[in-house]
Structure 1
Amino acid sequence: MRDIILILSEIMNQIHDILMVRVGINMTDKQLHFWVIGFIGLVTFLVVFVLVKLIQLLKFHTTILSFIFTFIMMTVFVFAIEIQQAVSNSGNMEFADAIAGLWGFIVFFAVYAVVAGLLYGMYRMARGKKTGRKKEKLKKDRSTPIVEKNTADSKAEIRPEPNIDTMDEQNEKPIRTRTETRKRKESIR
């Protein structure tokens, strides 16, 4: 772990030297951080933005995005703990410790995903049977005619209920009650 941090800091020093000496850009440390971190942050944002747009097309996009965000937070947390151990001499700073901690999160999340998937599957199976019965009932209800009695003429007008599927295509709401039928007739007069 300590070796990785030393390698990363050496890489940053080399980039700093290249920009200062070879390119001829004279900047303070703060100015250099402003430009380099700003550029890296914007490129990272654009890559993440495209990935999130692609993930949104998937079925469980909220779960996937939550996992990615949590994994990134846990990675930062694990490395912060390892760095704190090195600074305070409260333990050994090892890359293997960080990996073990992240594996713990992945295993716990996998158990959660399996349990949640089983519960969701049982819910879908139970709900699927109920919706099958509801669809049959709706088909029977559609075929029943609407009987409207006009009080002025004392005649009963019988007409079939409009097909709900074709009404949606015409961008009109289907008539469900006698009151709606009466209101539509009055608006036509």
Structure 2
Amino acid sequence: MREIILIIAEIINTMHDIILNLMEFAGLDLTDKGLHLWIMGMIGICIFGCTHVFFKYLSKYGITAISFVYTLTVMVVIVFAIEIQQRITGRGEMEFDDAVIGLWGFLLFFAAFLLIKTIHKGIINLLNRKNSKPNNRRLRSDHSKRSQ
């Protein structure tokens, strides 16, 4: 896991240097903070656009699908933050497998939630059908009496 973080850090540092050099070459005198404002602003709006389109698509499947994707995203951030925190403080070991197992825990609990939700909906549907059948019979018998 440490190696992955170091590789990502190196990629980001290299991109940072390239962008700074491009800005200097273009004659733009941006401070580090100015660079962060523009780059993070552009990255953020691109992510927003993609997320908006994706969530609009997911909305066809209901709010649960959107909530799942959002929660999974937050969980990825949390499990990696915990692993990084363990590395920084020396309490526990920073391992990629720990992050994966943590995410599997969420997926397992979410599957249990979906199962319970499905069973609950099934019971509600059965009760509604059971309660609506006598009403249908009564309506049919009332209609039959009127037509005679």
Q: TM-score range by the shorter chain?
A: 0.7 to 0.9
Q: Does 1:97 align with 2:98?
A: yes
Question: May I ask how many residue pairs the two structures share in their alignment?
Answer: 143
Q: Give the drift of 1:115.
A: 2.0
Q: 2:51 aligns with which of 48, 53, 56?
A: 48
User: How far apart, CA to CA, are the structure 1 residues paired with 2:8 and 2:100?
Assistant: 18
Cα distance change of structure 1 residues 31 and 135 upon mapping to structure 2, 3 Å threshold = farther
Which structure has more relative contact order (CA 8 Å, sep 6+)? It is 2
User: How far apart, CA to CA, are the structure 2 residues paired with 1:35 and 1:136?
Assistant: 68
Give the secondary structure class of the aligned counterpart of 1:91. coil
Could you tell me which residue of structure 1 aligns to residue 5 of structure 2? 5
Could you tell me which residue of structure 2 aligns to residue 75 of structure 1? 76
Where does 1:23-172 land on structure 2 (aligned, <5 Å)?
A: 23=23, 24=25, 25-58=28-61, 61-138=62-139
Q: Give the drift of 1:137.
A: 3.6
Q: Give the drift of 1:141.
A: 5.9
Q: Could you state the TM-score of these two structures normalised by the residue count of structure 2?
A: 0.84
Deviations 1:14-59 (A, max 9, x none): 111211224524422211111111111101111111112112222x
Q: Give the drift of 1:128.
A: 1.9
Deviations 1:40-90 (A, max 9, x none): 1101111111112112222xx111112112111211111111111011011
Q: In the alignment, is the contact (CA less than 8 A) between 1:20 and 1:26 conserved in 2?
A: no
User: How far apart, CA to CA, are the structure 2 residues paired with 1:100 and 1:107?
Assistant: 10
User: How far apart, CA to CA, are the structure 1 residues paired with 2:51 and 2:87?
Assistant: 32
Residue segments in structure 1 that go unaligned for 5+ positions in a row: 146-189
User: How far apart, CA to CA, are the structure 2 residues paired with 1:44 and 1:138?
Assistant: 55
Structure with higher strand content: 1
Deviations 1:127-146 (A, max 9, x none): 1232233344445667898x
Q: Give the drift of 1:99.
A: 0.7
Structure with higher helix content: 2
Question: What letter matches 1:56 in structure 2?
Answer: S
Q: Let me know the Cα RMSD of the aligned residues.
A: 2.1
